Chains A and B, each alone.
Chain A
Amino acid sequence: MTNFDEQRFIQLTRDGDYDAFNRIVAEYHDAVFAVVLRTVRNRAAAEDITQDAFISAFRKIASYRGGIFRAWLFRIAKNASLDYLRKLSRRPETSMDENIVYFSETVEDDSADPLAETLNAELARLIEHCLGGLSDDHRLAMVMVDVEGYQYDETAESIGVSIGTIKSRINRARARMRDCVQMQPELLPASMRL
């Protein structure tokens, strides 16, 4: 990270330097792929969308006018993801449920208890299921803020809305998630039960 001079690589990319851009790709591909995968919830599609997003970013690098570069990348990926979901929703023969990928194997837990591990895996599946039940906008906001840990301002810039809108979406998404996970209280730790 310390050797990563983002602005220099951006400038080199503007001059058509593929190697410089691929340094940027290597820096951000995990983050972009994670957000895309948690948004579209289909691994193959997420790979395609991530690849297309980086190609698109290279072609549109001239339109980058400063600000948080990662947020700019996220916005391209977000647009591609929502386009994909929109197309998917218009093809009813493709069921979302069939393509759900439970990419969270487990909730990280330091205990070595096998029962706890199983419960955590079930909890992870429940959380992923509930995340999938959110609207695209709410899920994207929640994934970026609550799962990936980005700040409100960066999330707002990435999604292209105001910070107030992000806060509002987060608030509603949390309430819905809470309602959703409460439907299987046996999987929840005591602190999460109402």
Chain B
Amino acid sequence: MIRKFLNRLFGRTDSITDAINSYVGGNASADETSLVEQMMRDDPALEKDLAAQRAMLGVLGKIGRIEAPRSFAITPEMVAAAEGSQSGISKFAELFAPQRKFAMAPAVLAGFAALTVALLTIGDLAGVIEQSRGGDSSASAVAVESAAAPAATPAPASVATGGLPESDTASTAPLEAAGAAIAEPETTDAAAAPAATSAPPAGAPRALDSGITAGDSSAVGEAQDADAPSSLAAAPPQNLESADAKLEIDGDGEVAKRGEVIPEDLEESAAASQLQEAAEAVPETESIAGVGIGADIGEGAGEGAGEGAAAGTAKGAATGAGDGIELPLWQLQIALAAIALAAIGAWAGLRRARGE
């Protein structure tokens, strides 16, 4: 049964069908003839059936020959008229005509988009895929919180790999930054995550080059002097690093002063302004942020996640540890649904253009 189905699916015929076809058509080989004769011995009704088919073919072959009723010679005028009558749209539509190569393209596209929407929805309901930014407010908050913890952790990773001195201060700085970011308004947090996320490769070398250390008061001065960050890859990490180095969060999430040179309000305002600037410059794409960072920075991620949890974002920490994939789900669903609808519309339009 399955074999028969597969043969039909792939247009294959089995040897018995071939043998019967050849026998009825009168061009069977010796093997095919013996096979069919054996079958006819086993099933006498088959013999009569095949004989009737052979006779029918004989009649079919004798159906009167058809001759063209007129000449079908073409002229340049005919060709010109045919080319003139075919608009660009109809030419394009012809590419998708039923017997052509791309006939199924719109249907396949629509089906793929619809299937993806369905899978995303199922994944969302099953918890495999989590909503990230751009969803409803609660979902958005989840994504932001989850991103905040690992967001600042690239700083320690870069500092550590860069071999900066004052490791005590430097290693605590990112965790402090994470806490600071969480303590900030939501918009700032949201920015801090991707800003620092994309920063490590460029941010670390820059920090090293400029000789910034966690305890260096001049770093804050640089941060203060710095204009709005021109790009996420360069400015935010440097500024965050230097500014965050001056801040420390205690267990309750309060900001403590550490710098002696820079006044308290200036430090805070510097950090806040840097984060705010970063928030404004960050694009709204942070898919899989928590997962990616967690993987990149290894231990740092765990610390960041732990700090985030300590700051009261247990859910964010869990996500940062790698549970599920964050996607801007409803935007994707809407976009794919729009693609499906567009493909269906195109299919209908192409049919109309072909005059069907």
Q: List residues of A whose CB falls within 8 A of some B CB.
A: 18, 21-22, 25-26, 29-30, 32-34, 37-38, 43, 47, 50-52, 54-56, 58-59, 78-79, 82-83, 86-87, 90, 103-109, 123-124, 127-128, 142, 145-147, 149, 160-162, 164-165, 167-168, 170-171, 174-175, 177-178, 181-182, 189, 191-194
B77–chain A nearest beta-carbon distance, Å: 10
The answer to whether B74 touches A21, judged by C-beta atoms less than 8 angstroms apart, is yes
Q: What 7 A-B pairs come out closest when comparing CB atoms? A: A165-B11, A34-B66, A191-B55, A192-B55, A22-B73, A108-B62, A29-B68
Contact B74 A58 (CB under 8 A): yes
- Contact A127:B60 (CB < 8 A) given known A168-B8, A168-B13: yes
**B53 interface hit (Cβ, 8 Å):** yes
Nearest CB of chain A from residue B113's CB, rounded to whole Å? 26
* Of A58, A83, A146, A175, most B-chain CB atoms within 10 Å: A146
Does B98 lie within 8 Å of A83, measured CB to CB?
Answer: yes
Give A21 to B74 CA distance when docked, in angstroms: 8
Chain A residues contacting B73 (CB-CB under 8 Å) are 22, 25-26
Which listed residue, B58, B72, B355, touches A50 by the CB 8 Å rule?
Answer: B72
**What are 9 A-to-B residue pairs whose CB atoms are below 8 Å?**
A18-B76, A33-B68, A47-B69, A83-B97, A108-B64, A164-B10, A164-B11, A168-B7, A194-B52
Residue from the list B24, B67, B78 in contact with A55, Cβ < 8 A: B78
Q: Which B residues lie within 8 Å of A164 (CB)? A: 7, 10-13
Contact, CB under 8 Å: A30 / B59? no
Q: How distant is the Cα of A185 from the Cα of B98 in the complex, in angstroms?
A: 39
Nearest residue in A to B17 (C-beta to C-beta)?
Answer: A171
Residues of A within 8 A of B72 (CB): 25, 29, 32-33, 50-51, 54
Chain A residues lying within 8 Å of B202, measured Cβ to Cβ, are none
* Residue numbers in B under 8 Å from A175 (CB-CB): 53
Q: Is the CB of A25 within 8 A of B74?
A: yes
A13 vs B265: C-alpha distance when bound (angstroms): 87
List the B residue with the shortest CB-CB distance to A131: B60
Q: What distance in Å separates the Cβ of A28 from its nearest Cβ neighbour in chain B? A: 9
Please determine whether B60 and A146 come into contact, CB atoms closer than 8 angstroms.
Answer: yes
Q: Which residues of B does A touch, CB under 8 Å?
A: 7-8, 10-13, 17-18, 20-21, 24-25, 48-49, 51-76, 78-79, 82-83, 97-100, 354-356
Known: A30-B67, A33-B72. Is A189-B55 also a contact (CB below 8 A)? yes
On chain A, the residues within 8 Å of B83 by CB distance are 59
Query: Complex Cα distance A49/B321, Å?
Result: 67
Contact A168 B17 (CB under 8 A): yes
Min Cβ gap B251→A in Å is: 74
Contacts of B75 in A (CB 8 A): 18
Closest B residue to A167 by CB, please name it. B13
Are B66 and A178 neighbours in the complex by a CB distance under 8 Å? Answer: no
| Chain A, Cβ-Cβ closest to B99 | A79
Given contacts A59-B79, A167-B18, contact A109 B62 (CB under 8 A): yes
Shortest Cβ distance from A113 into chain B, in angstroms? 15
Nearest chain B CB to A112's CB is how many angstroms away? 16
Query: A192 touching B66 by the CB < 8 A rule?
Result: no
> CA separation between A83 and B94, bound complex, in Å?
11
- B13: chain A residues at CB < 8 Å are 164, 167-168, 171
Contacts of B53 in A (CB 8 A): 174-175, 178
- Whether B57 lies near A146 (C-beta < 8 A) is yes
